Structure 1
């Protein structure tokens, strides 16, 4: 009789273990589904672009300028470092255009593709001249220096074209979405 009790207990324990396992699997599936539904990317929301648009709208209102944002491509492939870097570049360049360029209109174009990310920021301010007086060795300002460091960390290219008393165009090209080489501590 004792063997029958042990056998019954083993069967009961086995059934309980199977029930626990099935319950854990069900809860795990439900949790995954909930997380999937919570993700803004899974709901088709553009978190980075929407946040950027909100920032630029406030920037325009606070400074009495027109700001236009044009985006192409899918932000879902951008990692968090690239989003932070692009955000930092846009903030630095926008601040420079407003403070130093006295612009009235700021246009930001952002093209996100698997091959490269291209950011172009154009203003209608007083223009940018890298070294207007060739007799002076002039270092770039802190904002431009920060932008150069960020672009360099991706092995990217930075072009700044300015026409005196007319406009400035800053263009950053960052290769491939996953080629971030050096993480700068200043990128936040």
Structure 2
């Protein structure tokens, strides 16, 4: 390698390191963040209701928190060793979504129904990452801000597109106001819209105060030959 080539590599190194740090930060945020959110909510709930719980109920809640912490630990190991994303045709990605939703359901006392194809539908890594982040954000918002007791998540893959629909029975919100808000309350929705747009897709929101929320994400999916779910 000549001097000019070495100099070029040295100049690129800071940018490569910056991109790698961002990639690791995104993985930790997407994979570990939702689990930690569920644990934090559960601890807060137990603390608030501790004096009214029986010894058996206290033990059950602590076991749920322990199980959620174990799930977070497994996700951390999977992220470190780059095992979170399944190979095409596998089901590890769907398993990770189901694990997340099951944990949020148990920890927060919310009924969450997840309907999806039996495999990961050969979704690209980019599609899986975006959909996971959107599901985690939308369900977290339904629990944290919407005070929902029921959330429905449905993933459908057609020949040339994938659709994700998430609905809840929470208190709802003004979608236009939330998306245009400069404060943190609108960041989650804007982030979800940005993820959909980055893959050439769209996001539709139907919600108003007192009527829950319905979110539909439509993403193009080139090269798919049949309906998968």
Bin of the TM-score, shorter chain as denominator length: 0.5 to 0.7
Q: Aligned residues, how many?
A: 135
**Is the aligned partner of 1:138 residue 2:181?**
yes
1:116/1:96 Cα in 2 relative to 1: closer, same or farther (>3 Å)? same
The runs of at least 4 consecutive aligned structure 1 residues that moved more than 4 Å come to none
CA-based RMSD of the aligned residues comes to 2.4
TM-score by structure 1 length?
0.65
Gaps of 5+ in 2: 1-85, 224-229
SS in 2 for 1:117: strand
Distance, in Å, in 2 between the alignment partners of 1:124 and 1:87 is 21
Structure 1 residue 108 displacement after superposition: 0.0
Structure 1 residue 46 displacement after superposition: 1.6
Q: Deviations over 1:130-169 (max 9, x none)?
A: 2469xxx634711001101101101211100013212100
Which is higher, the Rg of structure 1 or of structure 2?
Answer: 1
Structure 2 counterpart of 1:164, from 188, 192, 209: 209
1:77/1:99 Cα in 2 relative to 1: closer, same or farther (>3 Å)? same
Contact 1:117 1:177 in 2 (8 A): no
SS in 1 for 2:171: coil
Aligned to 2:135: 90
1:69/1:167 Cα in 2 relative to 1: closer, same or farther (>3 Å)? same
Distance, in Å, in 1 between the alignment partners of 2:145 and 2:212 is 12
Higher helix share: 2
Distance, in Å, in 2 between the alignment partners of 1:177 and 1:86 is 16
TM-score by structure 2 length?
0.54
Paired residues for 1:87-166 under 5 Å: 87-131=132-176, 138-139=181-182, 141-166=186-211
Gaps of 5+ in 1: 1-39, 179-188
Question: Which gives a bigger RCO, structure 1 or 2 (Cα 8 Å, sep 6+)?
Answer: 1
Structure 1 residue 81 displacement after superposition: 1.1
Structure 1 residue 129 displacement after superposition: 1.1
Distance, in Å, in 2 between the alignment partners of 1:41 and 1:155 is 23
Distance, in Å, in 2 between the alignment partners of 1:96 and 1:76 is 26
Contact 2:110 2:150 in 1 (8 A): yes
Q: Deviations over 1:92-135 (max 9, x none)?
A: 111111111000001000012341010000000001212469xx
Aligned to 2:10: none
Higher strand share: 1
Structure 1 residue 74 displacement after superposition: 4.7
1:177/1:98 Cα in 2 relative to 1: closer, same or farther (>3 Å)? farther
